[in-house]
Amino acid sequence: EIAETAGYKKLCLELGGNSPLIVLADADLELAVNLATQGCFRNSGQRCTAVKRILVHREIAEPFTEALVAQAKDFVCGDPSDEETMIGTVIDEAAAQYLETVIQEAVAAGAQVLCGGQRRGAQLQPTVLRGVPRDARMVVHESFGPLAPVMEVEDLSDAIQLANSTAYGLSAGVVTRDLEAATRAIRELRTGTVNINEVPGYRIESSPFGGIKDSGLGVKEGVIEAVKWMTYTKTFSFPW
C-alpha cells in the first residue's frame, strides 16, 4: 500500500521477517543454544530480524531442545524498569493475545509447549515449543514476540527448503562447522542477509542490509547504501 501510494517517489521499505536459525548436525551445541535464546527472546522477540523459527537437525534435536528450555527458564519476566528483568512486554495487550492464539492453534495441531506460554496483560513468558506443524500460522507468518518453535529437519536441503517456504526474505542464521554447508546456505537461502554462526539480526551498521520478497524491495540500508540510494547518479559527456 505504501509503494502504491508513493508512485514514482523513491522508497526503501524495511518490512517484516520470519527469520530462521538453522542448526546443523555438526554445530557447536552451546553456541547454537545461546544464539537461539538471544535471537528469540531479546527485545521480547520484537525485532524484524529476531529468530522466529529454529530448524534443527533431527540428530541433535533432543539435546539442543533440552538446553534451550533450561536457558529459556533463566529469562526473568517483569517490569522493564527493573534491572533484573530480561523480558518486558510486547507492544500492547492485543499483540500478546495474538501470540497466545497462535500458541493455542499450534498446540491444537499437535505442538507441545515445553516452557512458558503464559500471558499476563501485554507480557508473554518466553515460550519454547516443539512439534510445530510446518503449516502452522505461528511459523508461516511473522509472530512478533518471544516464541521459540523448534522444528526438526532431515538435512541441509530440507532446512533450506523449509527456511525458504514463507513469503518473507529478510535474514537467516546458520550454525555449522562445515565450510561447504555454510557456503551452500549463503548461496541458496532466499534472504537479504545470511549470517554464519551468528543470529539473523547480527549486522554492522555500515554494511548493506535489507530484505527481499515480502521483506523489502531489495534496496539496502546502511550508511553507504542509503546515501547511494537517495542520491541520483548523473551521467554526462564533456568533450571540452
First to last CA, the chain: 48
Which entry of 1, 12, 14, 40 is annotated as an active-site residue?
14
What digits encode the pLDDT tens for the residues 176-189? 999 999 999 999 99
Which entry of 40, 48, 77, 115 is annotated as an active-site residue?
48
**Which string of DSSP letters, residue by residue, matches 57-118?**
EGGGHHHHHHHHHHHHTTS-BS-TTSTT-SB---S-HHHHHHHHHHHHHHHHTT-EEEE---
Residue 14 banded pLDDT, cuts 50, 70, 90? confident
Alpha-carbon distances, residue 44 vs 3, 47, 75, 136 (angstroms): 29, 8, 10, 21
| 105 catalytic residue (yes or no) | no
What residue ranges define each of the domains in the chain, with the CATH number in brackets? 15-202 (3.40.309.10)
* 210 in Cβ contact with 221 (< 8 Å): yes
| 115 catalytic residue (yes or no) | no
The model's pTM is: 0.92
What digits encode the pLDDT tens for the residues 85-130? 999 999 999 999 999 999 999 999 999 999 999 999 999 999 999 9
Residue 194 banded pLDDT, cuts 50, 70, 90? very high
